[in-house]
Chain A
Amino acid sequence: MEAVRHLTKGNGMTDLTLPTERQQPLDPPQELAGLRKEDPVQRLRYPDGHLGWLVTGYAEARAVLADPRFSNRPELAHAPIPERLVQQRAQMTLPPGFFLRMDAPEHTRYRRLLTGQFTVRRMKELEPRVAEITAERLDAMERSGPPAELVADFALPIPSLVICELLGVPYEDRERFQRDSAVLVSLESSIEDLAAAVTDLLAFLRALIERKRAEPGGDLLSGLVAGGELDDEELSGVALLLLIAGHETTANMLALGTYALLGDPAQLAIVRDEPEAVDGAVEELLRYLSIIHLGPTRTALEDVELGGHRIAEGEALTLSVPAANRDPSRFDSPDRLDLRREAHGHLSFGHGIHQCLGQQLARIEMRIAYPALLRRFPGLRLAVPEGEVPMRTDMSIYGVHRLPVTW
């Protein structure tokens, strides 16, 4: 019935477009809460004219992500905001190993080659090295500060160093791949910018794959090359995905999470002083911050019932992770950052077959880095007024562009 009502609005067409404007930097756009309350599955007008859906409810978003009748293939997709059109077009040009935008069984073949490398046990083995890298960054901050710029000095280098070591990518080349990676998630990049960044990254990775073939190391990329199951094009696609994913995610969680904690001293003290509370605190920060803020999207491969609506074959769905993670039917007082709550089950790593491959690595990085930072600098505070921290509203992954801090 809800769908009918929306369809009859103004000339039989819905006027709803995806709300993106935040009133508070750490809260999703207010309008989303109203939409979720009204109907967690709503008609949405896409910038290309397509009439699809917006999913803001937790149960409904989870159901979509778990259902193979909803496809993740980019050629079927419709972008929910104009800026994403360009990104989506660029994704169609990516080499075959970029398995994020594939359905089973193609997706399964690539993912299976990697899951053994990202198990809970393997990631736990990395803990001492992550702790060492974290301590080195803190030492460097202590030597050159205060003040410091937390993104460049801490939040980005930790995951960047870790993923480089894991993949076998020389960290010395970081300027090149960090720049390209940032272009790929910027909503302001033109199609030419994106094409140039993809071309450059792939050239870099192809050369690296050649080197791994000639002089294999103990790293993940060498292992994939030696395994012989993927051709060079596929290898470069896989490497591209892992490199971008390793850079643009944990880095934003570390910086945005620190920003959130600095604004809430009682919660900050939990992370700093209660080691046994840290694992749960990380889950809550993941839920509360929901940095994947403009999607994901899916397309129905056949007619599917969802939340009392019939989603027709070919129709696109945009799932708002920030809205789903703040659904009061799943989380009590969802707009409150409560590090002691049971936040497991949040959708920040997704759900279904595409759930984040690197999530156990991300957890370890955050569980080590947040408390280490807060313990090293108990007097850590913003070095600029709160309102002057530049937020990543212009990026497909939310966070802060810079976080000037002092202690």
Chain B
Amino acid sequence: MKVSGDTTVCIGAGMCVLTAPDLFDQSEEEGTVVVLVAEVPAGLEGAAKRAVQLCPSGAISINP
């Protein structure tokens, strides 16, 4: 499972960082999504899915 973030639609709400801090961060300047590990480690698939669900702007996606 891979995750990706789209900074052009991200609104910096921070839900991904709150939900899956091992996978996502926010940039210092704009607070937009930074993907820390593109390949989701085993055990974090659930958190990745939840982050996608909770993202208010649809900025993160999962690719199998």
A368 to chain B, nearest CB (A): 16
Is B54 within 8 A of A344, CB to CB? yes
Question: Considering the chains assembled together, what is the distance between the CA atoms of A66 and B18 in angstroms?
Answer: 20
Is B14 within 8 A of A352, CB to CB? no
* B contacts with A: majority SS: loop
B46 to chain A, nearest CB (A): 12
Is A355 within 8 A of B56, CB to CB? yes
Is B54 within 8 A of A118, CB to CB? no
Tally B residues with Cβ within 8 Å of A. Answer: 23
- Chain B residues in 8 Å Cβ range of A108: 11
B8 to chain A, nearest CB (A): 9
B32 to chain A, nearest CB (A): 7
- Chain A residues in 8 Å Cβ range of B11: 108, 111, 115, 353, 355
- Chain A residues in 8 Å Cβ range of B56: 65-66, 350-353, 355
B57 to chain A, nearest CB (A): 6
Question: Considering the chains assembled together, what is the distance between the CA atoms of A357 and B14 in angstroms?
Answer: 9
Question: Considering the chains assembled together, what is the distance between the CA atoms of A119 and B34 in angstroms?
Answer: 12
Question: Considering the chains assembled together, what is the distance between the CA atoms of A356 and B30 in angstroms?
Answer: 16
Question: Considering the chains assembled together, what is the distance between the CA atoms of A121 and B58 in angstroms?
Answer: 21
Q: A352-B56, A355-B56 are in contact. Are A116 and B13 (CB under 8 A)?
A: no
Question: Considering the chains assembled together, what is the distance between the CA atoms of A355 and B58 in angstroms?
Answer: 12
343-370 of chain A: CB within 8 A of chain B: 344-345, 349-353, 355-357, 359-360, 363
A226 to chain B, nearest CB (A): 15
Is A121 within 8 A of B53, CB to CB? no
Q: A66-B58, A111-B12 are in contact. Are A116 and B29 (CB under 8 A)?
A: yes
Question: Considering the chains assembled together, what is the distance between the CA atoms of A352 and B10 in angstroms?
Answer: 10
Is A353 within 8 A of B17, CB to CB? no
Which of A116, A349, A363 neighbours the largest number of chain B CB atoms within 10 Å of its CB? Answer: A116
Tally A residues with Cβ within 8 Å of B. Answer: 26
* A384 interface hit (Cβ, 8 Å): no
Which of B14, B18, B19, B53 neighbours the largest number of chain A CB atoms within 10 Å of its CB? Answer: B14
3-40 of chain B: CB within 8 A of chain A: 11-15, 17-19, 21, 25-32
A295 to chain B, nearest CB (A): 17
- Chain A residues in 8 Å Cβ range of B29: 116
Which of B15, B17, B29, B56 neighbours the largest number of chain A CB atoms within 10 Å of its CB? Answer: B56
B7 to chain A, nearest CB (A): 10
B26 to chain A, nearest CB (A): 4
* A266 interface hit (Cβ, 8 Å): no
Is A360 within 8 A of B14, CB to CB? yes
A72 to chain B, nearest CB (A): 13
- Chain B residues in 8 Å Cβ range of A115: 11-12, 26, 30-32
Minimal Cβ-Cβ distance residue in A for B16: A120
Minimal Cβ-Cβ distance residue in B for A359: B13
Is A116 within 8 A of B12, CB to CB? yes
Is B14 within 8 A of A120, CB to CB? yes
* B50 interface hit (Cβ, 8 Å): yes
Minimal Cβ-Cβ distance residue in A for B9: A353
- Chain A residues in 8 Å Cβ range of B30: 112, 115-116
Is A119 within 8 A of B17, CB to CB? yes
Q: Which 9 A-B pairs have the closest CB atoms?
A: A115-B12, A115-B31, A355-B56, A119-B26, A120-B17, A116-B31, A120-B14, A119-B31, A355-B13
Q: List 27 A-B contacts (CB under 8 A).
A: A66-B57, A111-B12, A112-B30, A115-B11, A115-B26, A115-B31, A116-B26, A116-B27, A119-B12, A119-B14, A119-B26, A119-B28, A119-B31, A120-B17, A120-B18, A344-B50, A351-B56, A352-B56, A353-B56, A353-B57, A355-B11, A355-B13, A355-B15, A355-B56, A359-B13, A359-B14, A363-B18
Q: A115-B12, A116-B27, A116-B30 are in contact. List 19 more A-B contacts (CB 8 A).
A: A65-B56, A66-B58, A116-B26, A116-B31, A118-B14, A119-B14, A119-B31, A121-B25, A344-B19, A349-B13, A350-B56, A352-B56, A353-B56, A355-B11, A355-B57, A357-B12, A359-B13, A360-B18, A363-B18
